[in-house]
Copies of this chain bind each other. A is one copy, B any other.
Amino acid sequence: MQASDRVTIADVAGASGVGIGTVSRVINGAANVRQATRAKVLKVIEQLAYRPSHLATALSRGTSRTVAIVVPHVTRPSAVERLAGALAVLAERGYATIVCNVDTASQRDQHLAALTARHRADGVIVMSLALSPDHLTSFRRANVPLVTVDLAARSVPHTVIDDVAGGRLAAEHLLALGHARIGFIGDRARRGLAATGGSTSSERRRAGLYDALRAAGIGVDPSLTRLGPHGPASAEAMAAELLAMPDRPTAIFAASDTQATGVLAAADRLGVRVPQDLSVIGFDDIEPASLLRLSTVRQPLQESGAEGARRLCALLRGERVLPLRQVLPIEVVQRGSSGRPAGQSRQTSCRSGSHSSLNSALEAR
């Protein structure tokens, strides 16, 4: 048994006394090989510890069965859930998956440029990322199949949710509970990155909130909207601002569960009880949301990645993928962080009444 490094199909052919064509047939399980020949070749392969060269196979076949995923901020729970959903589908179908994390616009451009090289990846999935017309054009010109997730791109198959409707759902949930002053905590769009189709999902969710407020005849108070960098710390600071207002909101809608977590922390620090003094609703339904009893708008994160992967696979099989725009369902999940505002305690929706908030708990430590 020698090192499989440097052992080629020719070595196997030589040692088995057959041609390399036959060895190739054996490797690929072609039918037209005599049983005895097959056995002999397999034995030699075993003895020589022969492993086919993936590169040679791929070059010869013209495909490496590799796809690439471009995803921003991979450490965020929503991103990693999507990624995991896609990885599972792709692995099951025998695709290797290159993961390109991007935290800056220049990283994004670099990765996208690299992926339009010939034979780099059979196809590409782009998630939650601003894609310029130029980007789209280079993929088209390079003839690299592309699908997107959490991002609408014209003439490219995309899997999304209706963020505006999601914002509306969150708002309607709070409105139904009797809230009239509803604050919003969301992302300040960073130049270039994290924007999708001209607006971020945070921005669209805010739009949905405003829609609902107007529809309810309440109108929008811009002073209740705060935008800042993503992340719990920033959300906490912004929520603290809202809670310090003389006429503070009775409810806050956060554009993501991560930010909602920050809102809970802020309420805590200020001794504001949730949900008695403040209702909070987030977006995404990431794992910790359930533990924190956070009401939220759930979107199928893993499933979105899985669907993106399935659609890319279909594309790679040469199928047409229709409809181009796939919209996944969302729903409100009510937990303990949302309830009727003070003075409207009739028919309280939450399970119990007199408790300290997560927030005051946090402050305690």
- List the interface of chain A (C-beta within 8 A of B): 1, 3-5, 49, 51-56, 58-59, 64, 66, 68, 74-75, 77, 80-81, 83-84, 87-88, 91, 96-101, 107, 111, 114, 116-120, 141-143, 232, 236, 261-262, 265, 268, 273-275, 287-288, 291-293, 335-337, 350-352, 354-365
Q: How many copies does the complex hold?
A: 2
Partner of A3 from B88, B141, B335 at Cβ < 8 Å: B141
Chain B, Cβ-Cβ closest to A231: B287
Task: List 5 A-B pairs, Cβ < 8 Å.
Answer: A49-B141, A56-B59, A74-B87, A91-B111, A352-B365
A288 contacts across to B, CB distance below 8 A: 232, 261, 288
Contact across chains for A355 and B363 when beta carbons are under 8 A apart: yes
Q: Determine how close the nearest CB of chain B comes to the CB of A100; give it in whole angstroms.
A: 7
Q: Determine how close the nearest CB of chain B comes to the CB of A12; give it in whole angstroms.
A: 12
Main SS at interface, chain A: mixed
- In the bound complex, what is the Cα–Cα distance between A355 and B68 (angstroms)? 49
Contact across chains for B293 and A365 when beta carbons are under 8 A apart: yes
Contact A4/B360 with A55-B55, A59-B59 known, Cβ cut-off 8 Å: no
Chain B, Cβ-Cβ closest to A73: B84
Q: Determine how close the nearest CB of chain B comes to the CB of A330; give it in whole angstroms.
A: 20
